[in-house]
Amino acid sequence: MNKQHRLAYIAIKEVSQGKRGALTKLLTVIGVSRQAYYKGLKREETAWEVRDRRLKERTQYWFDFHHQGIGAGNLVVNLEHDELITFRVTHKMVRRVMRELGLRCQIRVKKHSRQEASEQYVQDNILNQNFETDAPNKVWLSDSTELSFGPNGEYKIRLSGVLDLYGRLLLSHHLSITETSAAEIEVFQRAFDRVGDVHPLIHTDRGSAYTSGAFNNFLGRYGVTRSMSRPGTPYDNAPMERWWNEFKLRWMDRHPMPKTFEELAKLVEEGIEYFNHHNRSAQRSGLTPDEYWNEAA
């Protein structure tokens, strides 16, 4: 007996309970004898059916947990760390389950447009798109992005962040009305307060906040090395750009528009908590950014 027949028998049992003559009529409609019906109900699931049912349940759970924003690869990673999955899971198995459940990763790429800003303290592109690092606090990336809130999304706010290239852990963040040198100094101060005495390579774009005298004087006290993206080359800061993109598409866009600044701030905090502590990836050996970063720190 296949799964569809078994599900049909279970549905017939639930529908016909307490209704005289209903069972006979339903079995007649589908052309099944009472003997076959009762035999099918009593049949136990095979070991494969039990495993398949559990795999589908947990695949659906992790897909929903990550707001429909991960594909088969990262689903495998989460299932490998799932205490309820006691058997080996492969990409082929997960792709089959996703196909049967109708699950599809809902991620699209947003286009960005940037305006050139006045430059006071411009640095060379020392990072030069070398996005591999072997330890925490060797390379920090920073940028800000715009978020909206209000009944009709009419209010705008800037979210600034400092991202450690190792493990893609967001070390600190800060909300401000506009991207100013004061806002960027604040977000970097929070990062230094968190990790202590470190001297990373810091890479940013050439926005006015990052080329200002105040910001450069602030960083000068920490003995860091500066690096800046080339004009019109957002890929020079690709990991930070991707982090914002996924944060918006996989978190902000999957929640109702915050009506107040307080609601926005709470949603941002929860989103950063999710990406730092729950977002497992095969690129980090199945670990979250926090686990991967702390394992090496």
Range in 86-100, 116-130, 145-159 the model is least confident about: 116-130
DSSP codes, 243-278? HHHHHHHHTGGGSPPPSSHHHHHHHHHHHHHHHHHT
38 backbone dihedrals φ, ψ, rounded to 5°: -70, -35
Q: Of 275, 277, 281, 273, whose CA–CA distance to 291 is shortest?
A: 277
Highest average pLDDT, of 62-71, 111-120, 224-233, comes from 224-233
Decide if 155 contacts 149 (C-beta within 8 A). Answer: yes
pLDDT of residue 232: 87
pTM beyond 0.75, yes or no: no
Confidence of residue 112 (pLDDT cuts 50, 70, 90): very low
Query: Residue 164 and residue 33: Cα distance in Å, rounded?
Result: 66
Query: Residue 128 and residue 107: Cα distance in Å, rounded?
Result: 28
Q: Of 62, 79, 77, 71, whose CA–CA distance to 106 is shortest?
A: 71
In angstroms and rounded to an integer, the radius of gyration of the C-alpha atoms of the chain is 26
Going by C-beta distance under 8 Å and a sequence separation of 6 or more, which residues neighbour residue 164? 136, 137, 139, 140, 170, 171, 200, 293
Q: Of 286, 275, 278, 277, whose CA–CA distance to 251 is shortest?
A: 275
pLDDT of residue 116: 38
18 vs 196: which has the higher pLDDT: 196
Q: Of 247, 99, 75, whose CA–CA distance to 163 is shortest?
A: 247
Tell me the mean pLDDT in the region 249-263: 95
Range in 25-29, 111-115, 207-211, 284-288 the model is least confident about: 111-115
